[in-house]
Structure 1
Amino acid sequence: MATPFKGILQAHQSALSLAHRALDLAVIAACSLWFAWLQDRLHDSDTWLRLMATVMIFHWLCEYHQLYGSWRGERVKRELMRVFNYWALTFCCVMLADYLLTGPEIVLDRQRIAWFALILFALCGYRLLIRSTLQALRRRGFNTRSVAIVGTGTVGERLACSIAAAPWMGLRLLGFYDDAPQQMALDQLNRRIPVLGGLDQLVLDARAGRIDKVYITLAMSCEPSLCTLVKGLSDTTASVYLIPDVFMFDLLHARSESINGLTSISLVDTPMDGSSQLVKRFEDIVVSSLILAMIALPMLLIALGIKLTSAGPVFFRQTRYGLDGRPIMVWKFRSMTVQENGHEVVQARRNDCRVTPFGAFLRRTSLDELPQFFNVLRGDMSIVGPRPHAVAHNEQYRKQVNGYMLRHKVKPGITGWAQVNGWRGETTTLDKMQKRIEFDLDYIEHWSVWLDLKIIVLTLVKGFVHKNAF
């Protein structure tokens, strides 16, 4: 049976989203045909097949990942990053198809890179132009929406402050509605936001056409009032949004998900889904392959140095937790006389007698980590991510640090956000581990290809030698 509330709870297509679809296809087609004309290949059937494939792949990725929804309340950086991810993935797919169908003579030449860059610039450029124009109009009172907040609790207070801090969204806050108003501290808004009445008054004002959007921030315990309110608002033209108080928790990539038409809200999730997972894996394969090609000879010399300076195997393998907490075997060059991999693992300390002389050099320069590029190539690790800890340390700190196991929502990395910010080496106090986890979770929450590149550059610039590496 159809729900009577579907009309107000389901997002509507906007003229802007339709324009985005048309402009995306037009930009890709125009740039591709211009490049074909420059190469005198405008009448080549391969050109048109490649264009059709490019348009279809990009359009499918954008539709599948809902790029063409409403971006009124989102930062432009997030939209542009998704455009970059989808276009880069489309480009890789087209290049792979060319390679498989045409042969190894297809190379990534300057013209193909220019084609990729031009279309990326155009796709992002017109979006920035539209955004800038709309934001300027909204600041002047055009293209605005009248907004009402239901609930004067903490969630409603935070929402009001968010709306006031982002005038570019074009949301004009009329006031609050609540049957039992609470005292709020809204000093940062620089103006008084009134409580306009109870829930019955809200329905009357919405029916009179005074309200465009209603944001419900009541606690989940107010279910009877919520049902009555939504039923009343279904007789109005206002758009209704529910902001559950579960968002007051410290969430990691919270988002909604549909399960056979039933909407659920994830409280903890990973950013590595869909195209992001493919982009991250492509990044790992390319970078690790290039690095392994460059360090093959140094690794051979290091292996020889280990065999000549101490008894024991060249490599040290230790079980650690990988993605989703699954155990993986991490490879390192052996730098100690012991190979602890049990229920108790003692962290290396300054002047540790277990470290061999040659191993001390490897640890100071982080060269003992080089075999982990094979872990990256295998898919167990990433170039960038939270550093993997020994299983014994995981079991210890998961009981002491809140949110510790959330760092396993992504693959562990050779280098990470915590490491380039100085949080590496022995964790002699619980505060040090908490700080490391804080940076790990910050990386997961704000992951992007650009952040990965930034961390890689910082790792190279700051060098592998660190005062905490011993």
Structure 2
Amino acid sequence: MPGEIKGLAERYPAQLMVPIIDVLSIVLGGAVAHVWRFGNLQLPERFVLAMAIMALLVVIFNTVLGGYSRWRVTRVSTLLGRLLLVWMMVALMAMSTIYLADAAQRYSRLWVGVTLLVSFIIAASARVTAQLVLRGVRLRGMARRSVFLIGPGHHLVNVAKGMRASPGEGYSIAGVERLSGMPDQACVTRLSKRVNDSGASEVWICVPLEMGSVVRTIFHALRNHTAEVRFIPDFKDMHLLNHRVSEVVGHYSIDLSVTPMDGMARVIKRIEDILLGVFISILILPICVMIVLAIKLTSPGPVLFKQYRTGANGKQFKVYKFRSMEVHHEEGGRLTQATPGDPRVTKVGAFLRRTSLDELPQFYNVLQGRMSIVGPRPHALAHNEHYKELVESYMRRHKVKPGITGWAQVNGLRGETDTLEKMEKRVEYDLWYIDNWSLWLDLRIIILTVFKGFISKNAY
């Protein structure tokens, strides 16, 4: 039985089956929508053509966004987030086409909407069901891929711990070869035989970068084996950011620190900022008017506080806030963070800072394209100069646009950073966000901000 399940998964991988399921979901959704809207299954040719175009767009967008790749190791939430984005893009294109072509009389917009809704439910249900079934099968020891591990003992232990921590990915150890240095010919010959006898589906070469020459030796020794070979380098204490393998000028590159906001991700992030930024700006307009009046009536000075901050890729920009302090000047260009009972903070300002309402003008920064709704909070320039030498990888938080709210803030890390440990923790959360960015994660942070991120005991 285990062999049968494994063979089935290899003959019909997700990259082949899932697009077929998506196409069938559009067809079934169109049929259900037609019965619901018109009371019959006799779809006109123009409706069949519309379904074919929607199915084609679904497959293309899913392919571009990686919806059919890394199926074995991708979380269900990530799969569903990508799927929702794809269906929204198709819906936008379908409705825009009908409107621009003035084809509302020939194509029922209600039919299109119901088709996409039903097909999304079918496609999403199929993904969840498939992942749950495959995970259950793998947890019972079936449909697993056997792996032969090669490398220094301490690194192999870390890789093995990773396997045990992710049983749903379906990997098991078929054999281990511990290396203490460069293997001699006898070791290489023995290694080749052991891999062959183990029957492993994959061989993972797990060595630190300084032992890179070992990879070539072992790879050459396994040239006559059919097992898949992977190189899993040990980066030790290096703090990686969005690391991946890419191709540059015809050469493979192990990217150690790159921005995730590239290509389609950059477009998606900007669309998210524009749509949500416009919507939220309209909602908060009455609140902003009341805040402006409160500031003008209670303290002299400008309504807005403007200050230069560091944005994406280290470029400076001017950030806007509602003024929460009395107008003052600090000697020597110093910048002193607000503290509990700070006499510079006005009564209205204290309320604004405690509730984060002083940040509302930054939605204008978002519409300008200099900030995002979600991202690492921008720090003052003086703070960047102070902490960049004290906190490892501090400046890597500027790989993306700064945000009005962020992963650190919804986890309680907002307000004064009066100790090095607090700043280290905030940077740790910021880098985790950059390394794990997704549209789904942004929406989660926004929701968490609404429910628990506005008010903080650490904001003075």
Structure 1 partner of 2:43: 42
Structure 1 residues 154 and 422: CA distance shift in structure 2, 3 A: same
Structure 1 residues 219 and 415: CA distance shift in structure 2, 3 A: closer
Report whether the alignment pairs 1:64 with 2:64.
yes
Structure 1 residues 140 and 332: CA distance shift in structure 2, 3 A: closer
Matches within 5 A, 1:102-117: 102=102, 114-117=114-117
| Greater Cα offset, 117-126 or 456-465 | 456-465
Structure 1 residues 203 and 309: CA distance shift in structure 2, 3 A: same
Q: Which secondary structure state, in structure 2, belongs to the residue aligned with residue 246 of structure 1?
A: coil
Q: Which secondary structure state, in structure 1, belongs to the residue aligned with residue 235 of structure 2?
A: helix
Deviation at 1:117, TM superposition (A): 3.9
Contact conserved, 1:145 with 1:212, CA < 8 A, in 2?
A: yes
Q: Which secondary structure state, in structure 2, belongs to the residue aligned with residue 308 of structure 1?
A: helix
Contact conserved, 2:188 with 2:221, CA < 8 A, in 1?
A: no
Task: Give the Cα separation in 1 of the matches to 2:202 and 2:70.
Answer: 14
Task: Give the Cα separation in 2 of the matches to 1:212 and 1:464.
Answer: 51
1:292 to 256, 281, 285: 281
| Greater Cα offset, 93-102 or 391-400 | 93-102
What is the TM-score when the length of structure 2 is the normalising length? 0.84
Matching residue's letter, 1:391: L
Structure 1 partner of 2:356: 366
1:302 to 267, 287, 291: 291
Q: Which secondary structure state, in structure 1, belongs to the residue aligned with residue 176 of structure 2?
A: strand
Q: Which secondary structure state, in structure 1, belongs to the residue aligned with residue 253 of structure 2?
A: strand
Structure 1 residues 336 and 266: CA distance shift in structure 2, 3 A: same
Q: Which secondary structure state, in structure 2, belongs to the residue aligned with residue 431 of structure 1?
A: helix
Contact conserved, 1:32 with 1:115, CA < 8 A, in 2?
A: yes
Contact conserved, 1:147 with 1:173, CA < 8 A, in 2?
A: yes
Structure 1 partner of 2:143: 143
Deviation at 1:406, TM superposition (A): 2.1
Structure 1 residues 202 and 120: CA distance shift in structure 2, 3 A: farther
Structure 1 residues 467 and 236: CA distance shift in structure 2, 3 A: closer
Deviation at 1:306, TM superposition (A): 2.7
Matching residue's letter, 1:218: V
Report whether the alignment pairs 1:386 with 2:348.
no
Q: Which runs of 5+ in 2 are unaligned?
A: 1-9
Structure 1 partner of 2:30: 32
Matches within 5 A, 1:246-325: 246=235, 249-325=238-314
Matching residue's letter, 2:125: G
2:20 to 19, 22, 26: 22
Task: Give the Cα separation in 2 of the matches to 1:172 and 1:359.
Answer: 58
Deviation at 1:424, TM superposition (A): 1.8
Deviation at 1:451, TM superposition (A): 3.4
| Greater Cα offset, 406-415 or 241-250 | 241-250
Q: Deviations over 1:246-279 (max 9, x none)?
A: 3763322211112254221111233334444333
Task: Give the Cα separation in 2 of the matches to 1:432 and 1:140.
Answer: 43
Report whether the alignment pairs 1:237 with 2:222.
no
Contact conserved, 2:152 with 2:179, CA < 8 A, in 1?
A: no
Q: Which secondary structure state, in structure 1, belongs to the residue aligned with residue 338 of structure 2?
A: coil
Task: Give the Cα separation in 1 of the matches to 2:12 and 2:329.
Answer: 60
State, as a whole percentage, how many aligned pairs show the same letter.
39
Task: Give the Cα separation in 1 of the matches to 2:237 and 2:391.
Answer: 20
What is the TM-score when the length of structure 1 is the normalising length? 0.82
Task: Give the Cα separation in 1 of the matches to 2:329 and 2:418.
Answer: 19
| Greater Cα offset, 216-225 or 339-348 | 339-348
Matching residue's letter, 2:282: A
Task: Give the Cα separation in 1 of the matches to 2:383 and 2:342.
Answer: 18
| Greater Cα offset, 157-166 or 33-42 | 33-42
Structure 1 residues 13 and 381: CA distance shift in structure 2, 3 A: farther
| Greater Cα offset, 397-406 or 131-140 | 131-140
Deviation at 1:217, TM superposition (A): 0.7
Report whether the alignment pairs 1:332 with 2:321.
yes
Matches within 5 A, 1:180-219: 180=180, 198-207=187-196, 210-219=199-208
Structure 1 partner of 2:163: 163
Matching residue's letter, 2:201: D
Structure 2 partner of 1:226: 215
1:397 to 381, 387, 395: 387
Deviation at 1:409, TM superposition (A): 2.3
Aligned-residue RMSD, C-alpha: 3.3
Deviation at 1:382, TM superposition (A): 1.9
Structure 1 residues 308 and 270: CA distance shift in structure 2, 3 A: same
Q: How many residues align?
A: 442
Deviation at 1:20, TM superposition (A): 1.7
Deviation at 1:241, TM superposition (A): 0.8
Deviation at 1:110, TM superposition (A): 7.7
Structure 2 partner of 1:6: none
Q: Deviations over 1:144-174 (max 9, x none)?
A: 3332001133332211222234333333312
Q: Deviations over 1:365-414 (max 9, x none)?
A: 32222111111222222222221111221121112211212222222221
Q: Which runs of 5+ in 1 are unaligned?
A: 1-11, 183-196
Structure 2 partner of 1:454: 444
Deviation at 1:215, TM superposition (A): 0.5
Deviation at 1:44, TM superposition (A): 6.3
Structure 1 partner of 2:426: 436
| Greater Cα offset, 393-402 or 338-347 | 338-347
Task: Give the Cα separation in 2 of the matches to 1:52 and 1:398.
Answer: 54
Deviation at 1:332, TM superposition (A): 1.3
Contact conserved, 1:418 with 1:440, CA < 8 A, in 2?
A: yes
Q: Which secondary structure state, in structure 2, belongs to the residue aligned with residue 280 of structure 1?
A: helix
Q: Deviations over 1:55-112 (max 9, x none)?
A: 333322332344333533444444343333333343344444444444999xx98876
Contact conserved, 2:148 with 2:195, CA < 8 A, in 1?
A: no
| Greater Cα offset, 28-37 or 371-380 | 28-37
